Amino acid sequence: MSPATTSSAQGYPPSKEFAAQANATAEMYDRADADRLEFWAEQARRLDWDTDFDQVLDWSGAPFAKWFVGGTLNVAVNCVDRHVAAGKGERVAIHWVGEPGDSRDLTYAQLQDEVSKAANYFSAIGLVAGDRVAIYMPMVPEALISMLACARLGLTHSVVFAGFSAGALRSRVDDAEAKLVITTDGQYRRGKPAPLKAAVDEALGSGDDAAKSVEKVLVVRRTNHDENLPWVDGRDVWWEDTVDEQSATHSPEAFDAEHPLFLLYTSGTTGKPKGIVHSSGGYLTQASYTFHNVFDHKEGRDVFWCGADIGWVTGHSYLVYGPLSNGATEVVYEGTPNSPNEHRHFEIIEKYGVTIYYIAPTLIRTFMKWGREIPDAHDLSSVRLLGSVGEPINPEAWKWYREVIGGDTAPIVDTWWQTETGAIMISPLPGVTEAKPGSAMKPLPGISANIVDDQGNPVSHGEQGYLVLDQPWPSMLRGIWGDEDRFRETYWSRFAEQGWYFAGDGARYDDDGALWVLGRVDDVMNISGHRISTAEVESALVGHAGVAEAAVIGAADETTGQGIVAFVILREGVENTGEALVKELREQVSIEISPIAKPREINVVPELPKTRSGKIMRRLLKDVAEGRELGDTSTLVDPSVFEAIRQKRA
Ligand code: WT7
């Protein structure tokens, strides 16, 4: 779904009214250009530091950055305690809405108590700064409380999306050697409770196969669906029996700016997910700065809602660290947008008076399919700013979003960033930058990006190239957990000579110099804004006893951006049972990775198109799946394989 790019694309300049009250100013670009490091030092000082930093950036060990060298701070104190200390304890931090319709408001003072109790418990069981904690939970308040309690103690959290399978959880727990796993008994899925702790039990195994690092499993009661929840004595404890019993006072310590705040596993071009490492001071500085300026957040007035799950980086930076470090009031919603019906999001906006709403284009396109009469049935006049994230937004969806959800006045910020960048990098600044539907416009003040060709030469306007980040930024990843070589190889080898970070995306400037992100140029797919590698799905498919070989591609999909299309070759003698086999294979992927990685389409084919060197030509498979004329097939060993594939699909 590459957006069309023309300079004549209609631009939306900021309105006078919005500009007059905006947090951001045009002058920020100049200031950052004049002295980038001084600009970031200024942003860092929006936080409370226990010890001031004496150097803004140490890039001498590139590509390993150190930001705010010598500084110490406590991330949780910055997100919670300092607001209470400033007399804002009665302000609601979180309006939590559960999927079955239950709800709970947490003020900053209450949040401080809850985070302190959890921190006291984590200390009581012997966890110390630097230990890793896996969080495998649905969107309940305790998930955010757990993250903040980790931050408070310098424990490095690793949130694993609760939609991931037991196998995916196990590999992440093992890789990080997590000592504690926090989960819930079950989670709501479209109105019904589904087990979750069972997946933890399966993941952690027993006897010889037990995950060695794990000492405790802390369980929050959420669904209460199982009277005889399987329990491992000595290992498993209930939150209500342990955390809730702790004192609500806790004295925080300060940690080095570079202390690892969290790991977040994301898909790369190989089958093995990588644990992206994020820091404390630099990460929080940029999460906080972007929240304030890109979302134009006004303390005490706005109600922010980010629709992401804490299992993704968007949930880390814009459900936890960005909003809370700014003292925001936000909505946290546990469920799916159509539970119990398609009115859910709009009812929540109406009920809480949401002013800033941040979701992925997939959801916008889903809303469009449901029809505008659904949002039109609600008073959405509180909305004053809209955000988009996760994938390119097509201009039709952009315009619909602005008109139907934003009352035709709300500016839209199309925010480009990645798990690795930690926070927003490229986006219009509302009230300052013009916005074009489908364009992320330009790097934020303090951020430097470029679009270059294979050799690293800047491309001319209108031409497609590779998106690179040519200067370090505070919230940049500090590495891949336990794998320095992979870190260098993945991000820094493509433009090693220049020392640039290669993001994996293609992009181009239009004639006005606005930046259009065109999507991944590597073997990473983007399904509903979720990042899934072709290799991961292929390896899950060949894990099935009947499959000899598999090739997977992301094909354009009207709703989800891309959809997973698989081509498999069966082993000798394995019978193709048609629908039954396809069902089995989809299930296999769901079990190995997650239901979100289930292929939309699986084609059993006699052969895969390969080059003479044996490489599968995914580009050609994509042409087939998207119903296009085939591109150049001259390097194929046997161009006729396509006839067979085509026939299969017909
Ligand atoms: C990839 C990163 C950003 C947090 C959620 C996804 C794509 C992200 C945009 C956007 C076009 C976008 C890129 C990027 N992407 N935002 N506004 N326009 N593409 O984080 O899972 O690390 O995925 O998402 O391809 O590389 P992620």
Query: How far apart (Å, rounded) are the C-alpha atoms in residues 220 and 99?
Result: 16
Segment (H or E) for 584: helix 579-592
Q: Is 414 in the pocket of ligand 1 (CB under 6 A)?
A: yes
Strands of the sheet containing 412-415, edge to edge, are: 103-107, 92-97, 329-333, 303-306, 356-359, 385-389, 412-415
Residue labelled with tokens 């067979």: 644
User: How far apart are alpha carbons 512 and 633 in whole angstroms?
Assistant: 36
Q: Which atom of ligand 1 is nearest to the CA of 440?
A: 17
- Report yes or no: 281 and 73 within 8 Å, Cβ to Cβ: yes
Report how far ligand 1's centroid is from the alpha carbon of 646 (Å). Answer: 32
Task: Enumerate residue ranges in the chain where pLDDT < 50.
Answer: 1-7
Report how far ligand 1's centroid is from the alpha carbon of 418 (Å).
5
Q: Provide the sign of the torsion angle of the four alpha carbons 169, 309, 264, 563, taken in this order.
A: positive
Question: Dihedrals φ, ψ of 141, to 5°?
Answer: -55, -35
Identify the CA nearest to 40 among candidates 70, 69, 63, 68. Answer: 68
506 carries a ligand binding annotation: no
Q: What is the 3-state secondary structure (H, E, C) of 504-552?
A: EEEEEECCCCCEEEEEECCCEEEECCEEEEHHHHHHHHHCCCCEEEEEE
CA angle 52, 55, 60 (to 5 degrees): 145
115, 148 Cβ separation under 8 angstroms: yes
Backbone angles phi, psi at 531, to 5 degrees: -95, 120
DSSP code for 259: S
The answer, yes or no, to whether any atom of ligand 1 lies below 6 A from the CB of 309, is: no
The pLDDT score that the predictor gives to residue 5 is: 47
pLDDT for position 649: 64
Q: Is 338 within any annotated ligand binding site?
A: yes
Residue from 160, 146, 121 nearest 248 by CA: 121
pLDDT on residue 270: 75
Which tokens go with 483? 């794998």
Closest ligand 1 atom, CA of 503? Answer: 26
The SS3 assignment for 56 reads: strand
- The CB of 145 under 6 Å from ligand 1? The reply is no
User: How are beta strands 515-520 and 501-509 bridged, if at all?
Assistant: antiparallel
d(CA 551, CA 553): 7
Element (H, E) at 648: helix 641-649
Whether 486 contacts 274, CB under 8 Å: yes
| Ligand 1 pocket mutation, candidates 418, 420, 469, 505, criterion most atoms within 8 A of CB | 418
* Span 227-265, pLDDT tens digits: 999 999 999 999 999 999 999 999 999 999 999 999 999
Residue with tokens 């007399």: 87
Q: CA-based Rg of the chain, rounded to a whole angstrom?
A: 24
Tell how far the Cα of 504 is from the centroid of ligand 1, in angstroms: 10
Note the ipTM here: 0.99
**In the chain, helix, strand, coil percent, each to 5?**
30, 25, 45
> Is the beta carbon of 517 within 6 A of some atom in ligand 1?
yes
Two structure tokens written together for 138: 């649905």
For residues 25 and 435, the answer to whether their CB atoms sit within 8 Å is no
Query: How many whole angstroms from 505 Cα to the centroid of ligand 1?
Result: 9
Contacts of 455 (CB under 8 A, 6+ apart): none
149, 122 contact by CB (below 8 A): yes
As a whole number of angstroms, the distance between CA 521 and CA 271 comes to 17
Give the single-character DSSP code of 391. Answer: S
Looking at residue 236, the DSSP 8-state letter turns out to be E
Nearest partner of 184 among 301, 98, 278, judged by Cα: 98
For ligand 1, the distance from its centroid to the CA atom of residue 519, given in whole angstroms, is 8
Residues in the chain: 650
Helices and strands (H and E) in the chain: how many:
22, 30
Using the CB atoms, write b or e for 289-316: b if 16+ within 10 Å: bbbbbbbbbeeeebbbbbbbbbbbbbbb
| Distance from Cα 129 to the centre of ligand 1, integer Å | 31
pLDDT of 644 reads 67
Half-sphere exposure of 437 (CA within 13 A, CB side): 16
Query: Residue 544, annotated ligand binder?
Result: yes
> Ligand 1 centre and the CA of 195: distance in Å?
30
SS3 label, residue 571: coil
Predicted TM-score (pTM) of the model is: 0.93
Pocket test for ligand 1, best of 266, 294, 389, 508 (most atoms within 8 A of CB): 389
Question: CB of 378 within 8 A of CB of 350?
Answer: yes
Query: What's the pLDDT at 66?
Result: 98
Residue ID of nearest Cα to ligand 1 atom 12: 391
- Find the helix packing angle between 579-592 and 534-542, rounded to 10°: 120
Q: Cβ(631)–Cβ(618) under 8 Å?
A: no
Cβ atoms of residues 132 and 158 within 8 Å: yes
With CA atoms as reference, report the closest residue to 150 among 168, 171, 172, 127. Answer: 127
β-strand partners of 527 = 530, 561
Separation in Å, CA 463 to CA 239, 453, 513, 516: 55, 9, 11, 11
Residue 32 CA to residue 39 CA, distance in Å, equals 5
Q: Residue 614's pLDDT is what?
A: 76
pLDDT (0 to 100) of residue 1: 38
Measured CA to CA, the distance from residue 195 to residue 183 in angstroms comes to 11
